[in-house]
Structure 1
Amino acid sequence: MDISGISSSSGLHAVSGASYGAPPQQKMSSLFDSIDSSGSGWITLSQFEQAFQTKNPPAVFQQQGADAIFASLDPTGTGSVSKQDFVSTMSGLMASLRADGPAQSASQPADTLTASLQALNQIDPAAVSPTASPGALINISA
């Protein structure tokens, strides 16, 4: 599920991978601060969509789209996300990305289970067609 080379005009590079050695929470905190340019402590869908277009999220995030990711950041639909919620949710998403990456064979079963549960919790039941066949959400190409 799905941000790898996020950059801003200041040259800050954040998010997954070795491009920035900070802990995930620090990376996500910096990313939030770059999106929340007014310093309000909240970001809106509009701000998130703009950042999604101008920063370079990983392909797996791009496949989901800004609206779907924001929906997981704002599950109650308030229209805004606090820094704390953004950092914790995005850190979890990044952890699941790492768990799904090439190093997965070295991960512990509990890590894989946690990543799987996080992925399942992100499925929006409203996005699944009532006429979808059983197993329609399974990605057999992965």
Structure 2
Amino acid sequence: MVGGISGVSGGYGIQTMAGASARMPPEAKMTSLFNKIDTSGSGSISKSQFVRAFNTMRPTAGFRAMGADAVFSALDPYNSGSVSQSNFVSGMTSLMAQFRSGS
């Protein structure tokens, strides 16, 4: 797998993922990232898929500081064990905004 997991650089700016345009909106970047993680094409990602991607896709500083378990928990607040594309995109976009604002 190629590209960064977060779309946020260590300085909390937008990071270009491999194959993604620098001008691509965060939601589009996160949709592309979700599709790379959802290797089964099921429309949702499991915690094990997420952790595997987190460990191989070079997450940036904010996400590394949180850790894979905490990020997945933020994306899966009801502990269902999987995250849909819409929840992934909205959750990751929200986390990116929090990192940028310093919250």
* Equivalent residue for 1:21, pick from 4, 16, 23: 23
Q: Closer, same or farther in 2 for the Cα pair 1:18/1:60, shift >3 Å?
A: closer
For the residue of structure 2 that corresponds to 1:43, the secondary structure is strand
How far residue 95 of structure 1 moved from its aligned partner, in angstroms, is 1.1
Write the distance in 2 (CA, Å) between the matches of 1:21 and 1:97: 19
1:78 aligns with 2:80: yes
Length-normalised TM-score, structure 1: 0.60
Write the distance in 2 (CA, Å) between the matches of 1:80 and 1:50: 14
Q: Closer, same or farther in 2 for the Cα pair 1:84/1:59, shift >3 Å?
A: same
* Equivalent residue for 1:49, pick from 48, 51, 54: 51
Q: Closer, same or farther in 2 for the Cα pair 1:18/1:68, shift >3 Å?
A: closer
How far residue 58 of structure 1 moved from its aligned partner, in angstroms, is 1.0
Number of matched residues?
92
1:76-134 deviation line (CA, Å, top 9, x unaligned): 1010000000000100111111222xxxxxxxxxxxxxxx4xxxxxxxxxxxxxxxxxx
The runs of at least 4 aligned residues of structure 1 exceeding 6 Å deviation read none
Write the distance in 2 (CA, Å) between the matches of 1:78 and 1:37: 19
Question: Paired residue for 2:69?
Answer: 67
How far residue 40 of structure 1 moved from its aligned partner, in angstroms, is 0.6
How far residue 18 of structure 1 moved from its aligned partner, in angstroms, is 5.1
CA RMSD of aligned residues (A): 1.7
Write the distance in 1 (CA, Å) between the matches of 2:29 and 2:99: 15
Length-normalised TM-score, structure 2: 0.81
Larger radius of gyration: 1
Write the distance in 2 (CA, Å) between the matches of 1:25 and 1:38: 21
1:60-86 deviation line (CA, Å, top 9, x unaligned): 211111001100100110100000000
For the residue of structure 1 that corresponds to 2:101, the secondary structure is helix
